[in-house]
Amino acid sequence: MVQPGVPLIQTTQRNDTLGSVLASASPIETRPNSPNGSVDGHFTAAAAPWHPLAKDIEAACKDEVDETGNEADQLAPEVARAKERSAMLRVAWLGFGFLCILTAINVASTNVTVLYPDQGFNSLATLYFCFIIGSLLAPIFTARLPPWLIFVVAGCFYTVFDASLNWGVVPMFIFSALIGIAAGPLWVAEGSYVTATAKASGVPIGKLTSVFLTFFTANMTVGNVISLALQRLGVSRATMLYVMAGISGLGSVCLAFVPTPPRSAALASTSVEAEVSLMTKIKGIGKLLTRRPMAALIPLILWNGAVNTLAFANFPSFLPATLLDARPEALPLMFIAYGAIAALGSPLFGRAYDRAGLRPLMALVALISTAMFTMTYVVILYLPTLLPQRDDGTIDVDVHYGTIVAILVLAGGFLGALDSITTGTMNFVQSAWFPDGAETATAFAASRVVMCAGFVLLALVSNTGVWQVVLALNHALMVVTLACMAWLIWWTPYGLSPSEMRSVLKSDMVAVATADEADGADLMETKKSPLMPLAVLGSPSADDAPLMGPAGVSDKDN
């Protein structure tokens, strides 16, 4: 018998001041508790039949409307297809704008340390430190401003930064700080936009996110192809940076015409009176990071930042300087493979998540990271042996150049695949776990803060100049990431595909609510009995009663 006054469905604890930061909990964020368990720990009896992969959920719930507002199953096929096409075009247009902006900024960033060898790394550190600040501020902007305005303003800062590298050290630092702050709202607004579009259209989040990521990750290929072409034409570095600024400006113009997705207008028009202070929003981000399942995602996000540092900061230093002097196109060729493989992999990873959740992604992460680290060791330890010395003391690059290019292409391809799958997994699960308005923005802001922390962490470690330490940190992050993914898959419903996960949590809530009604009826009958002992009237309150988990273990003891 359940004690009177003990709620069987208890939402994640938070105080009133955080209420406007973290929107009312969706079914994904509730914790149905019963004598059989809680969705935060082992599966409940209602959820157990669906684990590890639910096969019959769609048939069991085909007449129900998804509680996140997805009503695609009830629409006529023609209407559903039209909504899907519209959503895909919206996100593709968004991805093209980001493609232009990121194509320019990535090419410009690779020239920072060349133009300013003493201050280039400090400029990048400034950029990512300000990125953290911008991510903390992002929920304020996403609540007050429409998405297109955030995209355009941020894009303009990126455009000016590309050109400012020709203007000296001081402008470079000023605009490094500005684009760092602008990057936070830019990426948080992107995550909120894609999530809102998926929710309104009924398109699976993995499929829709992969459309954006395909365009986004292609920027490495496009940027390095343009860079190579300009180098072959003899264009100066200063002119190339102005060309990149023009490409970034084109992307900003494109983003000005991004359509507002349905229901996002209400999100953007949140009243100022309902908003809370900046400090409370920052506390809300910290609070979200400690909540399950978000806490289990932190190692993956940290590793994603570290992988970006490994690719763009460490890998060029792993290559022999004599190779880069003799064949400057070797590094762009590696990053062309990086972008191409990342773009091709994004749709595959998205479809895999939509169909089977985190299980196939975990296997792919393990395989891809193993291959990537193997090629990294080949580049560091074996590639220098392919550069024999001539009698006059110079290096003979030509004799094994084909093998060198093949090694670099494979290394770049696996790096791109790892970046794509870690970035995609972050975006997939955040959109699936936090589909409701303010929590979407808060979750993406939190992930950007952690990602930048991972980038800065590995960058600081890289200052030691010891590649063994750099790779050891990456290995440790990989192991912890895989362990957390295994926990999500085997011990929580958050490793399931989005539709299966929502159905499991929904069935849990229905089962608990039904049990609550039955116990309530029994309690009323007991209250009507004239023989009811007075001790029943003094039963524990909800605050004092333990929440029972699996095997009768108190949730408070956990």
244-297 pLDDT, tens digit per residue, is 889 999 999 999 998 876 544 444 434 443 455 667 777 878 888 888 788 899
In angstroms, the CA 36 to CA 42 distance is: 9
| Residues in the chain where the model's pLDDT stays below 50 | 1-73, 263-274, 523-558
Nearest CA to 445 out of 133, 25, 180, 136 is that of: 136
pLDDT at 533: 34
In angstroms, the CA 361 to CA 493 distance is: 15
Which residues touch 242 (CB under 8 Å, ≥6 apart)?
162, 163, 166
The three-point CA angle 459-225-246 to 5° equals 85
Residue ranges and CATH numbers for the domains of the chain are 81-262+280-511 (1.20.1250.20)
Q: Which helix (H) or strand (E) holds 363?
A: helix 358-377
- From residue 522, give the alpha-carbon distance in Å to each of 98, 157, 526: 59, 65, 6
pLDDT at 12: 34
In angstroms, the CA 173 to CA 182 distance is: 14
Does residue 224 come out as left (phi exceeding 0), alpha (psi in the -120 to 50 range) or beta?
alpha
pLDDT at 531: 34
pTM score over 0.75: no
117-156 pLDDT, tens digit per residue, is 777 667 777 888 888 888 888 878 887 888 889 999 999 9
In angstroms, the CA 113 to CA 117 distance is: 5
In angstroms, the CA 541 to CA 557 distance is: 18
CB 221 within 8 A of CB 336: yes
